[in-house]
Chains A and B, each alone.
Chain A
Amino acid sequence: MSGLTLATVSHSFAGRRVLDTVSLVIHSGELVALVGPSGSGKSTLAAIAGGIVKPDQGRIMRNYARHGMVFQQSRLLPWADARANIAFPLTLAGMADDCIAERTEAAAQAVALLPADLSKRPEELSGGMRARVAIARALVVEPDFLIFDEPFAALDPALRRRMQDLVLSLAQARGFGGLFITHDLYEAARLADRIAVLDRQGKGIMGSLAPPGPAGARSEMQIFDFVEQARRAPLLSDLVNVDERALSLDCACDTLGFRRCC
């Protein structure tokens, strides 16, 4: 049974087609990493999957009750403390205060946030703590599907690894499926059950790769060998070789700019 199905999804921003008949099926409990070069439309696909953007064409079938979403740069409310940020989706849903408090504490504990951290505002938190708050905010809705849009791209390698470990342990403990957008092949190989490769011009999924064994049980050597082997595969030639300077200006990854292209 599939968790999320995107069927022939197409979308344009300001007259430029960003995604063209993209289809992707993510099975229930499966964590799929979507890789592709900058400007290929990964974030647009994540926004469509997350219900932020309505596609021009295509169908989205969600066979899950709730999804949570973790964004690049965390997107925390700067005026609210960590506790209020985590509770934000529940506040939006109009849940009772005692229930919000209980679930917020549980989500904070799941990502190893200390009680003292919960009263801090985002600017008082480090990058890693902000990422933890963003993950807790996604977990607080008790999702059965999670969408990650390059959530750790801005973190240093050591911190990124810790966050990946956190995602792995949560995925194993809770068994949720998800879509993980990244352009880091190593990250994809560490976290995902399957790696889907998006065409550099958003013209569909070019194919998939399956790292060996279940996610979380792979050794560093296995991941390293897989990544080295995958780099040589024709499927990933665009991801490995594309020069972002060769991309036209309207491919710059800015979902808010007037081009709103990717």
Chain B
Amino acid sequence: MPSDLGIASTRLRLAEWGEMAPIVAVRIARKTVPPLLGMALFLCAWQAAHLHYGGFILPSPWQTCAAVVRTLSTAEGWAALGATLGRAVLALGMSVLVGGGLGLFAGYFAVIRATFAPVATIVLGMPATAWVILTMIWFGPSHGAIVFTITIVIGPILYIGTVEAVLTRDRRLEEMAASFGASAVARFRRVALRQILATLGPVLGIALALGFKVAIMAELVTNVAGLGAEMARARAHMNIDMALANVALAVAGLLIIEHVVIRPFQTRSSMWKRIGA
């Protein structure tokens, strides 16, 4: 049997929760209502355009949603989504290794930076479509060709981002660490890397988004299995519902990776910068 003290404590806690509930509700509303409102406005505009142009030109959000469900109810639909996602993530990983790795060296050594500067400008200036054509000729329409294309398009972005991250770090913190006897490796690991990763977070998000777009475009041109190839097939059959469903899946896939991989990384690596801003 609960004691009087226990009941009083529970009542007090309930009263506290009662006082806190409206504050928490307002906070949640402030966080969730604006994005939901934005989504609602977008869907309303889409529906209005559908009513104006008709279902053949622009299917309604509901028709698109039904097409997405149809696509995801088949193994082929999941395979296409998985193939595109897998290529984008694999290419992002390779770009981080190659572009990020070279960027680190270039950031620390001016000679390497000066050597790679024109190369990075040329590679960055090449249109993604040109790379798709070239890789199709070099490797044929294959999975490797698409991964190579994405890597070569987003690699220079990560290279330049890493170089900038290295150059804009606060070197005075490394001097501070040196005064306490930190070795060059310890200064890099404990002081510099933290700052470099914080600057790289947004670059990774941009690189992933671009990589996803390039993946779909490359699949569409090469007709290698993936969301791009599904879009090409939908266009050939004039199946507008399926074309839009694949677009919606591509956007959803990008959002999933962004929120599952990139955002947590950004939060972990650059929270201190946002708090300090």
Contact call B179/A69, Cβ cutoff below 8 A:
yes
Contact call A47/B275, Cβ cutoff below 8 A:
no
Q: A123 contacts which chain B residues (CB < 8 A)?
A: 275-276
Contact call B179/A92, Cβ cutoff below 8 A:
no
CB nearest to B186 among chain A residues: A92
B70 within 8 A of A: no
Contact call B180/A75, Cβ cutoff below 8 A:
no
A189 within 8 A of B: no
Q: A73 contacts which chain B residues (CB < 8 A)?
A: 172
B66 within 8 A of A: no
Cα distance A50–B172 when bound, in Å?
A: 13
CB nearest to B190 among chain A residues: A92
Our pick among B180, B191, B273 for the contact of A69 (Cβ within 8 Å) is B180
Contact call B182/A51, Cβ cutoff below 8 A:
no
Cα distance A244–B198 when bound, in Å?
A: 37
Summed over the interface, the residue pairs from A and B with CB atoms below 8 Å come to a total of 57
Q: A255 contacts which chain B residues (CB < 8 A)?
A: 175
Interface size on B, residues (CB 8 A): 21
Q: A67 contacts which chain B residues (CB < 8 A)?
A: 179
> What is the interface residue range for chain A against chain B?
20 to 34
CB nearest to A74 among chain B residues: B176
Contact call B179/A79, Cβ cutoff below 8 A:
no
B181 within 8 A of A: yes
B173 within 8 A of A: yes
Contact call A75/B172, Cβ cutoff below 8 A:
yes
Assuming the contacts A77-B191, A79-B194, asked whether A256 and B172 have C-beta atoms less than 8 A apart, the reply is yes
Our pick among A47, A51, A75, A93 for the contact of B173 (Cβ within 8 Å) is A75
CB nearest to A72 among chain B residues: B172
Cα distance A255–B179 when bound, in Å?
A: 15
Contact string against B for A residues 115-135, beta-carbon threshold 8 Å, 1 for contact and 0 otherwise: 000000111000000000000
Cα distance A71–B181 when bound, in Å?
A: 15
B90 within 8 A of A: no
Q: Is the interface of A mostly helix, strand, loop or mixed?
A: loop
Q: Which residues 88-140 in B have Cβ within 8 Å of A in the complex?
A: none
Cα distance A7–B85 when bound, in Å?
A: 64
CB nearest to B270 among chain A residues: A79
Q: B180 contacts which chain A residues (CB < 8 A)?
A: 68-69, 88-89, 92, 141
CB nearest to A46 among chain B residues: B179
B248 within 8 A of A: no
Q: Which residues 173-197 in B have Cβ within 8 Å of A in the complex?
A: 173, 175-182, 186, 190-191, 194
Q: B173 contacts which chain A residues (CB < 8 A)?
A: 75, 77
Determine which residue in A50, A51, A77 has the highest number of CB atoms from chain B within 10 A of its CB, and name it.
A77
Q: B259 contacts which chain A residues (CB < 8 A)?
A: none
Contact string against B for A residues 51-75, beta-carbon threshold 8 Å, 1 for contact and 0 otherwise: 1100000000000000111010101
Assuming the contacts A51-B179, A52-B179, A92-B182, asked whether A78 and B276 have C-beta atoms less than 8 A apart, the reply is yes
Our pick among B171, B176, B191, B275 for the contact of A121 (Cβ within 8 Å) is B275
Cα distance A123–B275 when bound, in Å?
A: 8
Q: B177 contacts which chain A residues (CB < 8 A)?
A: 88, 92
Q: A122 contacts which chain B residues (CB < 8 A)?
A: 276
Q: B186 contacts which chain A residues (CB < 8 A)?
A: 92
A138 to chain B, nearest CB (A): 9
Contact string against A for B residues 192-215, beta-carbon threshold 8 Å, 1 for contact and 0 otherwise: 001000100000000000000000
Contact call B179/A256, Cβ cutoff below 8 A:
no
B272 within 8 A of A: yes
Q: A71 contacts which chain B residues (CB < 8 A)?
A: 172, 175-176, 179
In the assembled complex, 26 residue pairs joining A and B whose CB atoms fall closer than 8 Å, in A order, are: A50-B178, A51-B179, A52-B178, A67-B179, A69-B180, A71-B172, A71-B179, A73-B172, A75-B173, A75-B175, A77-B191, A78-B272, A78-B273, A79-B198, A79-B271, A79-B272, A88-B190, A89-B180, A92-B181, A92-B182, A92-B186, A92-B190, A121-B276, A122-B276, A123-B275, A123-B276
Known contacts A73-B172, A77-B191; can you find 7 more A-B pairs with CB under 8 A?
A: A51-B179, A52-B178, A77-B173, A77-B194, A78-B276, A92-B180, A92-B186
